[in-house]
Amino acid sequence: MNIMKTAALLAFMTALFMGLGLMIGGQTGMIIALLIAIAMNFFSYWNSHKMVLKMHNAQQVDETSAPEFYELNRRLAEAAGLPMPDVYIINSPQPNAFATGRNPENAAVAASTGLLETLSMEEVAGVMAHELAHIQNRDTLIMTVTATFAGAISMIANFAMFFGGGRDRGGIGIIGTIIAMFVAPFAAGLIQMAISRTREYSADKRGAEICGNPIWLANALEKIAMGTSRIPNETAERNPSTAHMFIINPLGQYKRDNLFSTHPDTQNRINALETLASEWSIEDNTSKDSTPQPWGRSR
């Protein structure tokens, strides 16, 4: 199902690219945009996950450089019935994490040093189980491809003025260029929001099943939300098209569960996890002040 959704997304993004090209440069602009879109479709399928990891300066670790964190992910992947993903650490004080990759056989999980230095082992397990759920649900391809396309569309729209758009070039003039500058990023942003919001609840539930305790993830979400509201993520600010990939929006918290947030309201997610814990007859015996593990940085 997600393969079909990804194909539909790529088709929509291609059409958006072509429409943007038409507005900026007329028929010639549309043809150029089509060629760019075809190249991006191919490139993003095979390489978009590498681009996202590179954007956030993620460093790959293994059983030697980060043994506890690597082993945790190995156990969780085994519990989920997934191949072992590549494991990365992002040098950022903001607690956060994301998953990427075109399929479970070519997937990666990444956590920030801020997350590893702030959360307890159980809470980190809940977060990484959530990310593995995205991989198992095959959300990561569509989320990663969307980040690549949305970033490209925003970039082209922002530079639209420099590309022209006059009537002598077959376009619809300066008005079309201005429309392109505002409509294209907005449309790409709406796609990002819809994709992320419909998947977070499902990944939360499956993540709880993988790690075995919904409370671990609920407590983690509370801490991450507090961290993202106080600690800026400068890299994410420079690459806002990747915000929907993180477990909590790295650009700041939204108070309402509305169409224009990239994630569902955090408290709503916590409530759903607490309800799940109640259904499973699991009590919250964890301490929110548990000592974090000394695995914050690769060694």
Beta strands across the sheet bearing 86-90: 58-61, 86-90, 106-112, 97-103
Burial of residue 279 (CB within 10 Å: 0-12, 13-18, 19+) is exposed
Q: Which of 122, 123, 131, 200 is catalytic?
A: 131
Compute the chain's Rg from CA coordinates.
20
For strand 106-112 and strand 97-103, is the pairing parallel, antiparallel, or unpaired?
Answer: antiparallel
Distance CA 10, CA 142 (A): 9
Helix (H, G, I), strand (E, B) or coil at 100: strand
Query: For the chain, how many helices (H) and strands (E)?
Result: 10, 4
Distance CA 96, CA 109 (A): 11
CA 180 to each of CA 8, 32, 164: distance values in angstroms, whole numbers, following the listed order:
22, 16, 12
DSSP line for 104-138: TTEEEEEEEHHHHHHS-HHHHHHHHHHHHHHHHTT
Give the phi and the psi of residue 257 in degrees, each rounded to 5. Answer: -85, 75
Residue 219: both structure tokens together:
């407590």
For strand 58-61 and strand 86-90, is the pairing parallel, antiparallel, or unpaired?
Answer: antiparallel
Residue 17: both structure tokens together:
């690219």
Residue 244: both structure tokens together:
């929907």
Residue 131: active-site member: yes
Q: Which residues are catalytic?
A: 131
